[in-house]
Amino acid sequence: MARKKIVAGNWKMNMTPSQAVALCAQLKDLVVNPDVDVVYCVPAIDIVPVIEAVKGTNVQVGAENMYFEEKGAYTGEISAEMLVDAGVKYVIIGHSERRDYFKEDDALLNKKVKKAISAGLTPILCCGESLEQREMGVTMDWIRFQIKSDLVGVTADQVKDIVIAYEPIWAIGTGKTATTEQAEEVCKGIRECICEMYDEATAAAVRIQYGGSVNAGNAAELFAQPDIDGGLVGGASLKADFGKIVCY
């Protein structure tokens, strides 16, 4: 069965609630493509107004992070249950900015992935190498380590429904996109890793996005690759160009 493409915007720490609602209105008619699942992953404070703003459209809403505990004394955190109750469908887990600036490690991310799945959220699990790792030739070893650690205890049936985003750190926000060949090579490697960990059917079902300086000019070529099932888009998701990426 062919995998449906999924294009998600990662708004990062951009858009006040009122700006968020205005952006949803601006993008509304531009992001309609029945062949693509469209997701806006937005800052926590924008979740409620954005869900309201996209009601009746093809857009689903995602969070950019969550905590793995159910509730309690975790000041500043947001639980999976809160997200589900608000109407959130996806959650980005393990973005390189969270791994780097907020020191989230793979043991923590594994807990978050399992919690998201059990609560009924679809994780968009991020992985990716630094420029130094790429130059040392350890890209695939590193990515395999991340995927294997983050999916400990996750069953084949659960993995089928998650989304994995390959985001080379050196390509994020730099305007320096990975070449189509580099992006496909790693996404294919991730699929092979899933096949080894689980089985062929699981590997064939899991959706793998590329992220890192995706724009209106390079999306079509990237998304045409056999193992790239869409994109996780930062900067270009905050403007009308996102429509061109969704309708690549």
* Binding stretches for ligand 13P (CB under 6 A): 10, 95, 167, 172-173, 211-214, 232-236
95 given a catalytic annotation: yes
> Catalytic one among 64, 129, 167, 184?
167
Looking at 95, 97, 104, 184, which residue is catalytic? Answer: 95
- Nearest distance in Å: CB 185, ligand 13P: 19
Q: Which is nearer to ligand 13P, 55 or 176 (CB)?
A: 176
Query: End-to-end distance of the chain based on CA atoms, in angstroms?
Result: 21
Answer yes or no: 64 catalytic: no
Contacts 24+ apart (CB under 8 A), 52-55: 52/21, 53/20, 53/21, 53/24, 53/25, 54/24, 54/28
**Residue 5's beta-bridge partner residues?**
36
Contact between 143 and 128 under an 8 Å Cβ cutoff? The reply is: yes
Q: Which is nearer to ligand 13P, 110 or 237 (CB)?
A: 237
What is the C-alpha to C-alpha distance for residues 163 and 123, in angstroms, rounded to an integer? 6
What value does the CA radius of gyration of the chain take, rounded to a whole number of Å? 17
- Rank residues 116 and 232 by Cβ distance to ligand 13P and give the closer one: 232
Which residue's Cβ has the minimum distance to ligand 13P? Answer: 234
Is residue 189 within 8 A of residue 234, CB to CB? The reply is no
Residue with smaller CB distance to ligand 13P, 53 or 178: 178
Contact residues for 175 (Cβ-Cβ < 8 A; gap 6+): 213
> Could you give the CA distance from residue 206 to residue 158 in angstroms, rounded to a whole number?
10
Q: How far is the CB of 166 from ligand 13P (least distance, A)?
A: 11
**The residue type at 185:** E
Q: Is the CB of 230 or the CB of 234 nearer to ligand 13P? A: 234
**Least Cβ distance, residue 73 to ligand 13P (angstroms):** 30
How far apart are CB 195 and ligand 13P at their closest, in Å?
25
Shortest reach from residue 114's CB to ligand 13P, in Å: 22
Active-site residue numbers? Answer: 95, 167
